[in-house]
Amino acid sequence: MKKQIILSLSAAALMLTACSSTEVSSPDSTGNAVLDYLNQAAANDTKTGTDYSALSSEKQGYGQGVQLDSENRPAGAIDFNNTYGKYNAEAIGDSDDKTIRLTFDQGYENGFTGKILDTLKEANVKATFFLLDDYARRNPELVRRMIDEGHTVGNHSVSHRSMPTLTAEECRAEITELHKYIKDEFGYEMTEFRPPMGEFSERSLAVTQDCGYRTVLWSYAYADWDVNAQPEPSAALKKLTDALHNGAIYLLHSVSQTNAEILGDFIKAAREKGFEFEALSDR
């Protein structure tokens, strides 16, 4: 089912109540109450309105694991949803959803993102790109292309710090400072957050939710990030295809030459098995 995100003044006020005790001013001429809030939050070192002291700050490291159910769905992703879904956090979609969400973590540019975007455009597939602040600032032309071609741009934090090691205010800043930059520079509102290294705590998930974001992990990932030890393309394609399951969220890295080479073949193989693709914000 398609998800429509409607940002209104009432929604911005709700986000403010949870994320900061600062009062929201009236929307500017664009009606952007959320950006008003972010501007004020950045200028005022206020404590959050939510009491996070009752929530665990213990660091959790996520992985989908190797145990699968009868539908090829990883038990680790299902357990994450069941445990942390109350914080608007997920690692896998519905069991009856034959749709794949391709997500790419954008730590730095290695020359393959353009080819990935070309393949997605040719195949008419929308994906999600989780950006770090440094990536967004260094590669504005690629960010603009992602947005203009209908992909979802997600928030991967300002500085790639482990969220559960930070205070609630520091967690908030990692999210909202990049949010403000992307809004100011590209006129785009991000709504999905992927915590660096897949590390989280109850507290960091709650802060993320209170700042108006959904936390998105993944139900499949493989060793594709080491540019000096890239997986062999045919073996990598088999891994990706064998892992197909309903509601899948694939984590890939755009620094991977292998991913750029096999992406079109993977899309074709998935469609032959009855799957389709969509970006996270299209749900």
The alpha-helical segments, DSSP class H, found in the chain are: 9-19, 33-43, 75-84, 113-123, 133-138, 140-148, 168-186, 202-210, 233-242, 257-272
Is beta strand 276-277 parallel, antiparallel or unpaired with respect to 99-106? parallel
Q: Which two tokens stand for residue 180?
A: 């403000």
216-269 pLDDT per residue, tens = 999 999 999 999 999 999 999 999 999 999 999 999 999 999 999 999 999 999
Domains and CATH numbers, the chain: 72-282 (3.20.20.370)
d(CA 36, CA 23) in angstroms, rounded, equals 10
Q: Any idea which residues carry the catalytic annotation?
A: 105, 253
Q: Residue 56 and residue 130: Cα distance in Å, rounded? A: 26
Q: What is the pLDDT of residues 45-91, one digit of tens each?
A: 344 467 898 999 999 999 999 999 999 999 999 999 999 999 999 99
Task: With a cut of 50, say whether residue 4 has pLDDT above it.
Answer: no
DSSP per-residue string spanning 104-173:
EEESS--S-HHHHHHHHHHHT---EEEE-HHHHHH-HHHHHHHHHTTPEEEE--SS---GGGS-HHHHHH
Burial of 71 (0-12, 13-18, 19+ CB in 10 A): exposed
